Amino acid sequence: MLKILKYSFYDLMRSRWSYFYFLFFLAIGFILLFLNSDLSKAIITLMNIIIVLTPLIGIVFGVMYFYSAREFRELLLAQPIKRGAIFIGQYLGLAISLSLSLLLGLGIPFLFYGLFQSAEIINFLVLIVVGIFLTFIFVGIAFTISLRHNNKIKGFGYAILSWLFLAVIYDGLFLISLILLHEYPLDKFTLFITMLNPIDLSRILIILKLDISALMGFTGALFQKYFGTGFGFLITTFALLIWSLTPVYLISRIASKKDF
């Protein structure tokens, strides 16, 4: 698995899409800091970009890479190698390469503008960690969907629908449920429903760390009320870790049973 991870990582780091992903965040970072050198405001702005864009790039690029590497994967499947090692190695290679592009793309402009001399270094690291979590989660979702569907059109369709549901539709349904059930105590229900969406969890994680009361919203305020800022931060991080490990289990399970 480590060899497959290594070769997949090296191959992806030479890909033009990895360079484009890196240059995009590099440009965004320099533009935001050039327009306003306040690192805290730049981090808040980047929060909205990363929470929406990172899952989209992860799931789309994950599906693209899975289907484009079919011939190479078939060659590996003909060898005495465990199926789980092949798919998890490719998954980790892709997720790590995208995470590295994100880290370098945002890290270089922030270092150039004096990140180490600023009090915002912890908040910036939380932003990067959230981006990495979302990358691993949505690349894993992409691999899971692609493993279930051999048809490329279906795979892309379900991948885009999954991102659209978690990024947009989920919050709308959540809001409608709160309006319809407003006569009942919804505190625990709200916390549970929030745990089922990694994008909402990522947003709350950043907001809890930044302690932005104006942006907390109902669910963020509940996290702060029930868990406190510190414990809520740990609970949210643990939930994101579970979200990151779940696709690995699903990939291994589906790959071991699927007839290739």
**Per-residue confidence (pLDDT) for residue 229, from 0 to 100:** 61
Distances (CA, A) of 213 to 2, 81, 163, 173, 218: 44, 52, 28, 24, 11
**Domain extent for 77:** 2-257
Half-sphere exposure at residue 219, Cβ-oriented, CA atoms within 13 angstroms: 22
**Per-residue confidence (pLDDT) for residue 33, from 0 to 100:** 84
The yes-or-no verdict on residue 122 having pLDDT over 60 is yes
Written as one string, the DSSP assignment of 123-141 is: HHHHHHHHHHHHHHHHHHH
What pLDDT digit, counting tens, does each position of 56-115 carry?
999 999 999 888 887 777 787 777 778 778 888 889 988 999 999 999 999 898 888 877
pLDDT band, very low/low/confident/very high, at 140 (cuts 50, 70, 90): very high
- Mean pLDDT value across residues 169-183: 81
The yes-or-no verdict on residue 174 having pLDDT over 50 is yes
- Mean pLDDT value across residues 169-195: 78
What pLDDT digit, counting tens, does each position of 195-225 carry?
888 998 888 877 777 765 445 555 556 666 6
The yes-or-no verdict on residue 227 having pLDDT over 80 is no
Q: Which residue has the higher pLDDT, 74 or 163?
A: 163
What percent of the chain stands above pLDDT 70? Answer: 90
Average confidence score pLDDT of the chain:
83
* 202 sits in which H/E element: helix 198-210
CB atoms within 10 A of CB 48: 11
For residue 121, report the phi and psi dihedrals to the nearest 5 degrees: -65, -40
> How many domains is the chain built from?
1
**Per-residue confidence (pLDDT) for residue 214, from 0 to 100:** 47
The yes-or-no verdict on residue 233 having pLDDT over 90 is no
**Per-residue confidence (pLDDT) for residue 223, from 0 to 100:** 62
Please state, in angstroms and rounded to a whole number, the distance separating the CA atoms of residues 148 and 26: 35
What pLDDT digit, counting tens, does each position of 37-60 carry?
778 788 888 888 898 899 999 999
Please state, in angstroms and rounded to a whole number, the distance separating the CA atoms of residues 225 and 206: 16
